[in-house]
Amino acid sequence: MSEDKIIDGKAFAAGLRERIGRETARLKAEHDLVPGLAVVLVGENPASQVYVRNKARQTAEAGMRSFEHKLPPETGQDELLALIDKLNNDPKVNGILVQLPLPDQISEQAVIDAIDPDKDVDGFHILNVGRLSTGATGASAPLIPCTPLGCIMLLKDRLGSLSGLNAVVIGRSNIVGKPMAQLLIRESCTVTVAHSRTRDLPAVARGADILVAAVGRPAMIKADWIKPGATVIDVGINRVPVEGEDGKTRIVGDVDTQAALEVAGAITPVPGGVGPMTIAVLLANTLTAACRQKGIEPPEL
């Protein structure tokens, strides 16, 4: 029963990476273009180290160039901005990602502002944020944040058209909640953005045909928050202790998945749902950015 309710993001991401690999090979053959992605890590945050390692590996596996820059935790803002300037001006680098969070002495805003918007594969630069919210297309089309774009791909793969559906996004971060809301508006959903101050959050959530949870609280969303048949996208990645096993941890989402499966029409598991999509979309954004920089029409992925 529940098997077909599971949205297999891991499999979808693998398929996407395969298409990206084929298109990368074609770009090399037809245009002598090898897209390059620079990833910058400041400090030693263990979760960030894992992400950055996975990004580098998957970039190389797709046939792209990967440039890794690991800087010590005490790196100053000026030093990081100087590196970004170098990457902005390096023609081999088509995409730049500075892993967040950054140490306290560095302003995230200053760093995001410094990245060339055409190389901003995170879609965090204010120009890309503005282009997404105004619905800019063609030569002015935005680069779109990876995690929400991955969520939209999974939703459209499962539901087809999203037009007219009620979508509730729980969470209002710049990385997920806000761009997710913009993308759902673009798909003609009726969108509510809820957050920690929302009154009667369970009742708001129960109005959703599409429920996106991006709050960072383990298993906060319960089965009775979910409208029967709704599609649930769980963006949460929370590390929690395993009961009775000293020191052991596991990863859970923002949704109580087992209970939600009884009510929802479909749900992304954690792990294996949204998580694997993020890096796959990062590679897609790098391919798109490289094509645009060379005046080549980006492929449909």
CB of 228 to ligand GUN, least distance (A): 32
CB of 286 to ligand GUN, least distance (A): 13
109 is an active site residue: no
Residue of 235, 288, 296 lying closest to 19 (CA atoms): 288
Closer residue to ligand GUN, CB minimum distance, 46 or 228: 46
Closer residue to ligand GUN, CB minimum distance, 24 or 99: 99
99 is an active site residue: yes
Closer residue to ligand GUN, CB minimum distance, 64 or 274: 274
- If one counts every other C-beta atom within 10 angstroms of the C-beta of residue 290, the result is 26
Question: Which token pair is 142?
Answer: 């935005």
Binding site for ligand GUN (CB under 6 A): 97-100, 122, 146-147, 175
Catalytic residue among 58, 119, 120, 122: 122
Closer residue to ligand GUN, CB minimum distance, 35 or 179: 179
Q: Are strands 249-252 and 238-241 parallel, antiparallel or unpaired?
A: antiparallel
Residues 6 or more apart in contact with residue 47 via CB below 8 angstroms: none
CB of 123 to ligand GUN, least distance (A): 9
CB of 77 to ligand GUN, least distance (A): 16
Residue of 197, 191, 239, 249 lying closest to 218 (CA atoms): 239
Closer residue to ligand GUN, CB minimum distance, 147 or 257: 147
Phi then psi dihedrals of residue 249, to 5 deg: -130, 160
Closer residue to ligand GUN, CB minimum distance, 144 or 175: 175
Catalytic residue among 58, 99, 209, 234: 99
Q: Are strands 266-267 and 231-234 parallel, antiparallel or unpaired?
A: parallel
CB of 200 to ligand GUN, least distance (A): 30
Question: Which token pair is 153?
Answer: 């791909």
Residue of 286, 295, 278 lying closest to 60 (CA atoms): 286
Q: Identify whether the C-beta of residue 96 lies closer than 8 Å to the C-beta of residue 121.
A: yes
CB of 81 to ligand GUN, least distance (A): 16
The catalytic residues are: 55, 99, 122
